[in-house]
Amino acid sequence: MINDRLSSMSAPPESKKIIALSSHAYIGLGSNLDNPIQHVRAAFKELDEIADTQLLEQSPLYRSAPVGPAGQPDYINACALLQTTLAPLQLLDALQAIENSHQRVRKERWGARTLDLDLLLFGQQTIDTQRLQVPHPYLAERNFVLYPLVDIGIKAHLPSGEPIAKLKQASNNAGLERLEKNS
């Protein structure tokens, strides 16, 4: 009886994404090569094109001093809030596919890159595998993550319950410059 009712319901229009049993995922975006603003803006659009995923919010862009090897150009950073029905590793695969489409090369740790997409938070999950650690292990130490993250997720918190806004208050904004939203 229930199956008959379900099969007689009309399907939703193709243009409307419906996310059931979904999770919120916060993504950190960064680029410091080959027109980084363009790479980050394009990545926002590409995040919204991931199957079974919807871009809910995007932060303003920030310019930050590089972390890692000396001599790198400054980074452009931002954060995005996604709603997805994908499992964490499926989402990670999709993020890495987007990085690869931007000719991301992984030569040296914390080296310059065309695009870096980090899965910062996934619902209230704590994940610790060889491929993925959530919350991102350096989230609390990086102002270029905390500031844009609070811009879109003022109520976000770690699985431990610690508010992201509190982590931001404990950090400083040295080397960080908020750019105009449409820069």
Q: What are phi and psi of 27, to 5 degrees?
A: -120, 135
Distance CA 120, CA 117 (A): 9
Kindly list the catalytic residues.
Answer: 104, 113, 116, 118
Q: Which H/E stretch holds residue 99?
A: helix 88-101
Residue 127 host element (H or E)? strand 127-128
CB neighbour list of residue 92: distance below 8 Å, 6 or more residues apart:
119, 131, 132
Total residues belonging to the chain: 183
Token pair of 80 as six digits? 């995005």
CA distance 109 to 72: 13
